[in-house]
Amino acid sequence: GAVVSQHPSWVICKSGTSVKIECRSLDFQATTMFWYRQFPKQSLMLMATSNEGSKATYEQGVEKDKFLINHASLTLSTLTVTSAHPEDSSFYICSASRPGTYEQYFGPGTRLTVT
Amino acid sequence: AQRVTQPEKLLSVFKGAPVELKCNYSYSGSPELFWYVQYSRQRLQLLLRHISRESIKGFTADLNKGETSFHLKKPFAQEEDSAMYYCALSTGGFKTIFGAGTRLFVKA
C-alpha cells in the first residue's frame, strides 16, 4: 500500500498564533510531497510542492513566509501556518508521490479553524 | 496555459444507467492524466490513470488527444459509485492540476 497520514486531523487556534501540520508517508519514501488547500465545495488548490532536502516551490499567490514548509526527511513534511488569521481557516490536504511517479497518495486532511 | 475543465458540477443518474463524466484538458506537452475519487467521509484516492489503460470498478477512461479529452465512463452505474470525481493533469515537475470536480449521484 501507500499510506499517508496527517496530524492533527483538526485544530482550532487563536488569531495571531502559529499552527504546524504534519504529513507522513507511512510505508514508502516520498521524495515529493504536495500541500493543497480546499475551500468548501471547491476543488483542491495546490499551495506548494515540497522536495526532500530542498526549499519548497510555492504556487503564485501563496505567501511563503506565511505558509512555511519543511521537508526534513523522505517520510515527513510539515506545513506551519504562521500568525494565523480567520481567513486561513480551511481544509489542508497533503499528498505524496513515490520517486519517479506521478500518481499521488493523499492524507485525510486537516481542518484548521482560526478564531 | 495548463488547465483541466470538468463542465458538470453535478451529475445525477439512475442505478443501472450509463454514466459519463467529462474532462477536457489544456496542455502543450505530453499529458499524464488521472481520475481521482473521493467517497463520502474518505480521503481522495486514485481511481485510474490513462497510461495503464485499465478498468477499475467498471470505470474506464480513454485519452483523446485530438479532442484533448479524458472522459470517465461506466456502462452501468451503481449506488456505491456516488462520490466526487476529479480529473487531474500531471505536468513536468510532478505537479498535478485538478479540475473543479463532478459530484456523481446515483439514484436507486
Does B99 contact A at CB distance below 8 Å? Answer: yes
Give Dmax over CA atoms of chain B in angstroms. Answer: 43
Q: What's the rounded mean pLDDT across residues A38-49?
A: 86
How do residues A57-112 score in pLDDT, each as one tens digit? 999 999 999 999 998 888 999 999 999 999 999 999 999 988 878 888 999 999 99
C-alpha cell at B94: 510532478
- Tell me, yes or no, if B3 comes closer than 8 A to chain A by beta carbon: no
Contacting residues of A for B32, CB less than 8 Å apart: 102
How far apart CA B37 and CA B51 sit, in angstroms, is 18
pLDDT value for B93: 64
Contact between B70 and B57 under an 8 Å Cβ cutoff? The reply is: no
Mean pLDDT, residues A21-50 taken together? 90
Q: Do strands A10-13 and A110-114 pair parallel, antiparallel, or not at all (unpaired)?
A: parallel
Q: In tens digits, what is the pLDDT along chain B, a chain of 108 residues?
A: 789 999 999 999 999 999 999 999 999 888 889 999 999 989 999 999 888 878 889 999 989 989 999 999 999 999 999 999 999 998 766 778 899 999 999 999
Residues of chain A with C-beta less than 8 angstroms from the C-beta of B44: 44, 93, 95, 106
Q: What percent of chain A has pLDDT over 70?
A: 100
The answer to whether the CB atoms of B100 and A57 lie below 8 A apart is: no
CB pairs A-B closer than 8 Å: 45
> Quick one: pLDDT at residue B50?
85
Give the DSSP letter of residue A54: S
Please check whether residue B46 touches A, CB under 8 A.
yes
Q: What is the pLDDT of residue A61?
A: 93
Q: Which of B32, B36, B43 sits opposite A107 (nearest CB)?
A: B43
Query: How much is the pLDDT for B61?
Result: 94
| Cβ atoms of residues A56 and A50 within 8 Å | yes
Distance (Å, whole) CA A72 – CA A52:
6
